[in-house]
Structure 1
């Protein structure tokens, strides 16, 4: 698509299924690229050593919470850009990116310092199986450094996607994957000249690939003529309200992401209370689930861009149509994925480990995991759609109840107390994700029946939408 026609080609007022798919396909591919990095890390490290896989899993259990929370804070860049385009204020989007990049820089530094200074102590405070915390701490410290380039890079990626330019971001992400794979294969085995190996070496590979991604995305944005016309090279004018609105959207998303990632990281801690083998099995389960989750996450981004533009244009029918298409596509794709995982659990397990005990545990867990993919995907599409129409509080509150109040205690009871192991943890996820999906889609349907406020009243609508 041309620079000058990107917003119009995705105009919410005239969208159909093809519009959603044209945006969703590269966004999904981009999100799969994000998880492909984690998949490569897990596969290469897991085949090198089951113990190193445990270190990688526990380090990521902490790092993942910090990263996803930080990226949630950045989601305001995408939402505000989409709404501005819908309102006919595309000229303001260059300033949105400038503010977002400054904001991303501060968040990245704070996140990296927090994780580097406190991550090791957190791991040792979890009461893990012998040796896990000691082995995971140096891995976590490398992962902390790699937070800086990925948080800043994602601000640019979100902005491009809101403009309908998801393909360049997708290409950049997969090019970074090539870098990650090459460096992993070089560093993880013993014998490289740098003297690192295992999970720590994989962490440095991830850092190198994220630096590459940041550089490529910067080149893409600066090389886009329309971006320069929108003022991405000019200092953003002071606008306290615009900055506040962007942060407010991010606070809601970050709250949800923090709650979900904290709850799922708690599953890794519970697995650590069970056994080292349980940690390895859970590491594979959560990696596969995260890869699958990238599909609905990408669909949720595409859906929210269209919902946000319709909201900016105050087009109630367009919002409902876009959200309904997102629901339908997510349901169809994830049902197909679930069937595939259910039919071939042994093949998945064998790809991750050569340990017979670990393979048996993974295969059993994969069959059960296929039950929560659909519900987990539907709830994220609903949450993103609500945020795109400036309903900030409800998704966070729903995630708090579903994943902290319900899932965490239930997982401990079923998995640890009752001896259900990893299968007990998964049953808790199935129930919590189903609860979240039902509540969030019910909320969207209820709001769709109410009239929209006109532009200028969004400040109150963010907390109390019409």
Structure 2
């Protein structure tokens, strides 16, 4: 009688959606803080929105690089579950929390000290540079809280328990919204308003999120028994694989986000209003990107479990299911955004001059939604099967060597403005997706052949 093993069944659409749905909600919750900040600040002042966008750019580089360094928490936990060793998962989290706190402090100090010199060095107007630097320094204070929360989120998702992380993230968003509405208008007792006040609201929300995660784990007695959170785990993965996997992901994200931060700087060189318009377009694209990012995390968990089970079929099926689901959803989202750009822009600003710039750029931006989503799913699937450095090389070529110089050339020397920036993102995303999809297909085919030969032998 033929039976289907758990590994062979790995990667079904129902399994993917059960994990991806709360993960997507969690990622949307992460991005919703930035969206809330941008909307509240944008309605307060277009100039302050420009400060916010430029201050967020170096912060985004630091945050996403830190998130990349923590990817090993998710991958190693998923692999331990796939290997049937859940008792080693707690040791992964313990190391991950220490790593997250250390990285958060270091990155926060660098951002605090380096924000103003960088803003002035890239040639921004002095008032614009000073305003953006003040925002970046305020964001720097919340860096350790954010990365600690991400480490716990990744761990829970790898355990197949993403729901609590999503719920707590959305609760933190309520805190963030309340703090924004209180601080941004400048009517609170504190001497802050505008973009700096919005960054302070984010600090309050992220600190509250860490406190909520600590309370949740403290009230979960089974975590110590089932996953060895407090127990010694001699067989658990050490620091080297945590840093090796995280380092590859961080390098990739650093290159990509640095390139996008450079695009923010190019928008600032065009003009203050163009910087605000690019902030609107990029913020919407970033919110949409949370959907494939959620699918990418879910796909990585399933691929990691299949890889831990040593099943080439499970790895391939998980990856291909994740890619197909992501592409299908993003086609629908791109169509909606393309049909309603004026409505979406109006949520950010009532300034007609800003809308004239943002609407056509947002319509064009829908061209890269699908390919950008597919490339991040493919990259996460590759890392989950221990192919950690090829995505880094691919992102370096696509975003540093192609997108940034092309964006500058199209926007300024060729005079295309924001439209030129968007075309550069489209082209870079196509290059990245082509590389990574080909790599995953080739490795899956090779692994299946090796598995078949082993079975015959």
TM-score by length of 1: 0.93
Aligned counterpart in structure 2 of residue 166 of structure 1, from 158, 162, 174 = 162
- For residues 228-247 of structure 1, the aligned pairs below 5 Å read 228-230=224-226, 233-234=229-230, 236-237=232-233, 242-247=238-243
Change (3 A) 1:121 1:237: farther
- 2:187 aligned counterpart, secondary structure: coil
Per-residue CA distance 1:181-229 (angstroms, 9 max, x = gap): 0000000002211121100110110001101111111222222233111
**2:9 aligned to 7, 11, 14, which one?**
14
After superposition, where does 1:408-447 map in structure 2 within 5 Å?
Answer: 408-447=404-443
Using the alignment, how far apart are the partners of 1:67 and 1:93 within structure 2? 24
- Structure 1 residue 230 displacement after superposition: 4.0
Q: Does 1:47 find its partner at 2:43? A: yes
Structure 1 residues 336-347: aligned runs within 5 Å: 336-347=332-343
Q: In 2 relative to 1, CA 452–212 (structure 1 residues): closer, same or farther, beyond 3 Å? A: farther
Q: Which residue of 2 aligns with 1:449?
A: 445
User: Alignment partner for residue 390 of structure 1, among 382, 386, 393?
Assistant: 386
- Structure 1 residue runs of 5 or longer lacking an equivalent are 1-9, 455-466
Equivalent residue for 1:151?
A: 147
Equivalent position to 1:63, from 41, 59, 63: 59
**CA deviation map 1:425-464 (0-9, x unaligned):** 000000000110011010000001223899xxxxxxxxxx
Of the structure 1 ranges 237-246 and 299-308, higher mean CA displacement relative to structure 2 is found in 237-246
Whether the 8 Å CA contact 2:66–2:103 is kept in 1: the answer is: yes
- Per-residue displacement from partner, 1:291-319 (whole Å, max 9, x unpaired)? 00000000000000000000000111111
Equivalents in 2 of 1:305, 1:270: separation in Å?
37
Structure 1 range deviating more: 212-221 or 333-342: 212-221
Does residue 117 of structure 1 match 2:113?
Answer: yes
Residue 254 (structure 2) pairs with residue 258 (structure 1): yes
Output the CA distance in 2 between the equivalents of 1:33 and 1:248: 28
TM-score normalised by the chain length of structure 2: 0.95
Equivalent residues of 2:91, 2:236 under 8 A apart: no
Q: CA contact under 8 A between 1:372 and 1:433: conserved in structure 2?
A: yes
Tell me if structure 2 keeps the 8 A contact 1:402–1:436: yes
Offset at 1:235? 6.1
CA contact (8 A) 2:407 2:421 kept: yes
Q: CA deviation at 1:232?
A: 5.3
In structure 1, the partner of 2:77 is 81
Distance in 1 of aligned mates of 2:383 and 2:282: 26
Pick aligned residue for 1:298 from 263, 277, 294: 294
Q: Does 1:284 align with 2:280?
A: yes
Cα pair 1:314 1:452 within 8 Å, conserved:
no
Segment of structure 1 superposing worse, 351-360 or 443-452: 443-452
CA contact (8 A) 2:89 2:229 kept: no
Counterparts of 2:392 and 2:267 in 1: how far apart (Å)?
Answer: 26
CA distance in 2 between partners of 1:225 and 1:254 (Å): 33
Going from structure 1 to structure 2, the CA distance change for 1:378 and 1:233 (only over 3 Å counts) comes to closer
* 3-state SS of 2:213 partner: helix
How many angstroms does 1:129 deviate by? Answer: 3.4
Root-mean-square deviation (CA), in Å? 1.7
Distance 2:449 2:250 in 1: 25
CA distance in 1, matches of 2:228, 2:368: 41
Q: Name which of structure 1's ranges 237-246 and 368-377 shifts more when overlaid on structure 2.
A: 237-246
Q: CA contact under 8 A between 2:368 and 2:425: conserved in structure 1?
A: yes
Query: In the alignment, is residue 272 of structure 1 matched against residue 268 of structure 2?
Result: yes
CA distance in 2, matches of 1:121, 1:235: 46
Does residue 1:194 correspond to 2:185, yes or no? no
Separation in 1 of the partners of 2:113 and 2:236? Answer: 32
Equivalent-residue separation in structure 2 for 1:223 and 1:179 (angstroms): 22
